């Protein structure tokens, strides 16, 4: 059983910054694996939807942007508007560090755990470094921020991932076939005598050698549904985080049909800007709820639809 980490000490506050909430030790469901908690999160709200919490203060309504802790206030409103519609939230680390707002990231994650404990938090940090530094990053993700899972870059190999993967109650989502146009530059490179694309090699490693504790997942963009289907055929029931729906133009139907597992689940379909900024007015939270509900309903419509055509699905 994993020992509950000690609560980190509060950091010195910037002048004028709001005092952070008192942090108690995380009350994760010790004795439950990450995969168990993820499957429970899918069932909890009958949802595969993951909302990305990617704050851009310049896009906040004026009344929020002018406050003492605008990012936390914005996130809290979004969370309260959507928590019954999602399986997870995915704060993107750079969107907080750029504003020197790591304290508001901490408060956001604390708030989710305290008020919506069945909803998971994936810290989208894309960490990847040599082993001893990776250990520090794992402490940052799972102890300082209390995330349930983190995204990692596998370019340095297994020893850069092991400090994350050794925590059975936490998840690690490994970048495999990302949603950006430049993904082809490296991820499609042919490998070995068979000339298989690199992303397929990553998928196989992640689902076998790297997944000894069953807490490894993959990141595959919705903008590449054919590749998503190929990955699903390689990894079986493994969870896949699917960004790229919404502002990036990924097709929901194709992503679900290609990426779902045999139970009609196995995915965390992530959307950020299309939900967060569905309205730029004071009704932003209501608009976010409407956008999240519509996407959740679309996902559920396609996840239970019968397979059609030829191929894997």
Instruction: Enumerate the active-site residues.
Output: 126
Question: 208-231 burial, b for 16+ CB within 10 Å, e for fewer?
Answer: eebbebebbbbbbbbbbbebbbbb
- Other C-beta atoms closer than 10 Å to the C-beta of 178 total 20
Residue the block writes with tokens 């304290």: 103
Q: Bridge-partner residues for 121, per DSSP?
A: 89
Closest CA relative to residue 264, chosen from 58, 116, 47, 97 = 47
3-state helix, strand, coil in the chain (%, to 5): 45, 15, 40
- Long-range contacts: 94-97, Cβ < 8 Å, 24+? 95/53, 95/54, 95/55, 95/56, 96/55, 96/71
In this structure, what token pair is assigned to residue 21?
Answer: 């909430």
């Amino acid at each position: 059983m994993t020992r509950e980490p000690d609560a980190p000490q509060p950091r010195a506050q910037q002048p004028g910054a709001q005092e952070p909430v008192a942090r108690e030790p995380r009350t994760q469901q010790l004795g439950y694996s990450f995969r168990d908690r993820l499957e429970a999160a899918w069932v909890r709200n009958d949802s595969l939807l993951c909302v990305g919490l990617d704050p851009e203060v310049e896009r906040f309504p004026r009344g929020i942007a002018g406050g003492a802790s605008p990012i936390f206030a914005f996130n809290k409103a979004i969370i309260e508007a959507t928590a019954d519609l999602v399986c997870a939230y995915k704060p993107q680390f750079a969107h907080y560090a750029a504003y020197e707002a790591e304290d508001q990231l901490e408060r956001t994650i604390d708030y989710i755990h305290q008020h919506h404990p069945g909803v998971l938090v994936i810290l989208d940090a894309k960490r990847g470094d040599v082993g001893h530094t990776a250990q520090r990053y794992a402490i940052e993700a799972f102890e300082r921020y209390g995330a349930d899972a983190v995204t990692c870059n596998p370019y340095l190999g297994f020893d850069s991932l092991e400090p994350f993967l050794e925590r059975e109650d936490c998840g690690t989502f490994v970048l495999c076939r990302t949603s950006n146009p430049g993904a082809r530059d490296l991820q499609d490179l042919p490998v070995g005598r068979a000339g298989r694309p690199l992303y397929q090699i990553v998928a196989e490693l992640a689902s076998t050698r790297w997944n000894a504790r069953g807490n490894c997942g993959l990141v595959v963009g919705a903008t590449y549904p054919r590749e998503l289907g190929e990955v699903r055929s390689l990894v079986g029931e493994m969870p896949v985080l699917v960004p790229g729906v919404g502002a990036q133009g990924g097709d929901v139907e194709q992503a679900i049909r290609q990426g779902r597992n045999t139970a009609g689940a196995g995915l965390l379909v992530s959307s950020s800007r299309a939900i967060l900024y569905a309205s730029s007015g004071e009704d932003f939270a209501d608009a976010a709820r409407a956008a999240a509900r519509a996407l959740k309903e679309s996902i559920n419509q396609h996840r239970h639809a019968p397979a059609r055509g030829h191929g894997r699905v």
